[in-house]
Amino acid sequence: MRKDASKNKKVCQDAVMGTAVLGERGQLVIPKEIRDRYELKTGDKFFVLGHGHGPIAFLPLNQMQDFIQNISFKIQEAVQDSKT
pLDDT digits (tens, 9 = 90+) for 55-67: 888 888 888 888 8
pTM of the predicted structure, to 2 decimals: 0.59
* Alpha helices, H only, 1-84: 3-15, 32-37, 61-83
pLDDT for residue 20 is more than 80: yes
57 beta partners? 49
How many Cα atoms sit within 13 Å of 18 on the Cβ side? 11
Domains of the chain (ranges; CATH) run 3-83 (2.10.260.10)
CA distance 57 to 43: 18
CA-nearest of 57, 11, 64, 40 to 31 is 40
